Amino acid sequence: MRSNTMTQLLKVKIIKRMLKHTFFLLAIFFLFSSCSSSKKQSSQLELSPEEKHWMEKFFSDLLFAEGGAYTLWGTKPITEIVLYHYTDEEMKALQEELSKEDKENCYVTDCYDLPSNWEKWEKIKSQFSIKKYLLFRSHFDEDGKASFAYFVDVLRTATLIQDNYELFKKSAEFDFHPLEVVIDMQNPNSVFWNKIRNSKDSPLLWGLLFGYGKLNSCAFFWKHFECPQSCQEAVDSYPFRFSNPSPRGQVRISLTNFTIPQFVSFSDDDETIIQYEKEREKIKKAYQGKDLVKITLQKLTSK
């Protein structure tokens, strides 16, 4: 009996020693992995002066002029970026065709080089280990004068789809895994996203995906796309406003004057607007007095 007891105690000691040894090895492994990852990430952020120059303008346009900062730092699941491919002459002709009111209500950037900088980004983006976000060009319009790109927070977009699963399933017409379809968004032949784009509920679904809030997305959809005649008066009784008017004239949008995302709001105390206003202050603090390219790449490649 005593022999068995001693044997059991010995086994316990051995097991404890093995566990202690295992935890020690794991600690060393994670420390080594962390250092290796840090070194790898550091090497990724080494840019030539030329790359640093155009990338600063590229990220400034992406984050502040196009609103991508709210996807990188905030709660906006997806930011859509429209890249225009007009010549200077074509752009001037289009501006001449605008009405006086439209000219007063639009703004013109003094240096529109986002399409060319996007081309440069696509050539070097494989150097950076970006896993939590998608940043890709999807398709061109019919006349080839505009292409559409998307900046996606993978986890936040998947969670939004999960929270509204039945709405998306109605358009997709099949069961799916939210994370899987978000990753598949880069695929131009994606069955899921082609169905979403061609669905009659598409305006509602994209309103949710672009982070306009469920109340605003539903109200906008019912007001302009699908509303029974018996409900029209009720829908029309809700006033709406733009979340934030666009700047006018010839300006360059940057950290100092960027606005919250623009959408139609149907609430006087819109929680979505309040949230974006808080995020705007957070974003300004994140970049104030710091290297825009370095901070952005660190956030994009963070693990």
Average pLDDT over residues 280-285: 97
Average pLDDT, rounded, for the chain: 84
Catalogue the E-assigned strands of 51-197: 78-84, 107-108, 133-140, 146-153
Q: What is the pLDDT of residue 31?
A: 43
21 pLDDT band, cuts 50/70/90, is: low
Helix/strand/coil (H, E, C) string of 102-113?
HHHCCEECCCCC
Hey, which residues does 135 pair with through a beta bridge?
151
The model's pLDDT over 229-257, given as tens digits with 9 standing for 90+, comes to 777 787 777 878 899 876 665 568 899 99
Mean pLDDT of 189-198: 96
CB atoms inside a 10 Å sphere around CB 145: 14
Q: How far apart are CA 255 and CA 63, in angstroms?
A: 9
Confidence (pLDDT) at 303: 82
| pLDDT tens per residue, range 35-64 | 444 444 444 567 889 999 999 999 999 999
Please state, in angstroms and rounded to a whole number, the distance separating the CA atoms of residues 102 and 210.
25
Contacts for 30-38: CB closer than 8 Å, 24+ residues apart: 37/303
